[in-house]
Chains A and B, each alone.
Chain A
Amino acid sequence: MRMSPDAPAYPIPSHVALLHYGESEMRDAVFEFLVAGLKRPSEALFCFGEPGVGERLLKYLESRVGRDLSPDYRRGRIVLGTADPDVDRQLENVIAPLEALSASGFALVRFVGIVAWNAPDFPPPEDFLWFESKLNEVISGFPVIGLCPYDLARMPARAIVYGALETHPFVLTDGALRRNPQFIRPDRYLRERLLALPWLQDEGRARVQARGGRPGFPDGAGP
């Protein structure tokens, strides 16, 4: 494992949960992360999220750096990836570009995956959690830093625990990168956490139906 020369010193590869409050805090942290890559021609950027999110992130980046980034996009140094309600397709939408960028010889890929919860263009929550955990295995084969922003102001508390804290070996908060003691390895996470998700149990499904068929952790401190 080698260290990036940037501050914070991200291990490579690494999968990092960015814990933030609100959109502007996320944008600042993501900008700092991506612009460090823009300064190095050997690095590539990969922006991933719901349809349109990557494009918006690219526009934001252009406005902050004050230049047109479309040449970088056209020659494949900047990649925009799209989430998919089908988790297998979503996983492929990450793996295939990582393979292509790696084959193109980029020394490092800075991946930003903007997280949504229970969104129509995203996999169902249980599949999304599996996807987040699975990413640890996926990125282990590539020179990539994966940054996944989790909005503490908007996401249900247990979605943050399950999604951010238990599937990311590192957390970034207030500009400080820390090894995450709550991380659970993917095989154990599947058996001990995902299979025990309340809405996947018989009694949990009844509660989901009572909520109008919406699965996942309810907003607030509900069961």
Chain B
Amino acid sequence: MDARALPLPRHKVVGGRAPPNPSRPVDARSTGGPAIRDGIERLTPREREVLELMAAGLDNRAIAAKLRIQYSTVRGHVRSVIEKVGARSRLEAVARAYRNGWVAKE
């Protein structure tokens, strides 16, 4: 199956609080939540979308096609997601997202 033809992800990002300004990540210090939530709360809405698609198994090209943005932009988002959630790899970021309930099956 062509990754670019994958159906919409069956997962949805949950947890955290929607940031008031889409262009700015929420300051984790202001949420007062437990440390485990800091990762997701530092993500911008776009980064959360990207994490959702990563969790659905899409590669960067497929994510770019789905979100109608440049591959290089997706690449930047993915690197940022991995860094912000404190993972060392793409799969570790996805695993953390599932384990911490940041993405859940609908």
Contacts and interface: CB of A to CB of B under 8 A. Distances in A.
A88 B94 CA distance: 14
Contact of A190 (B2, B57, B89): B57
A91 interface: yes
A206 to B, nearest CB: 14
Given A88-B59, A91-B59, A95-B61, A137 B90 contact: no
Instruction: Give the contact-size bracket for chain B.
Output: 10 to 19
Given A123-B89, A138-B3, 16 more contacts: A88-B60, A88-B75, A91-B59, A124-B88, A124-B89, A126-B92, A126-B95, A127-B90, A130-B90, A134-B57, A137-B2, A137-B59, A140-B1, A140-B2, A141-B2, A197-B91
Contacts of B3: 134, 137-138
Interface of A: 87-88, 91-92, 95, 123-124, 126-127, 129-130, 134, 137-138, 140-141, 186-187, 190, 194-195, 197, 200-202
Contacts, number: 58
Nearest to A123: B89
Interface in B51-106: 57, 59-61, 75, 78, 88-92, 94-95, 98-99
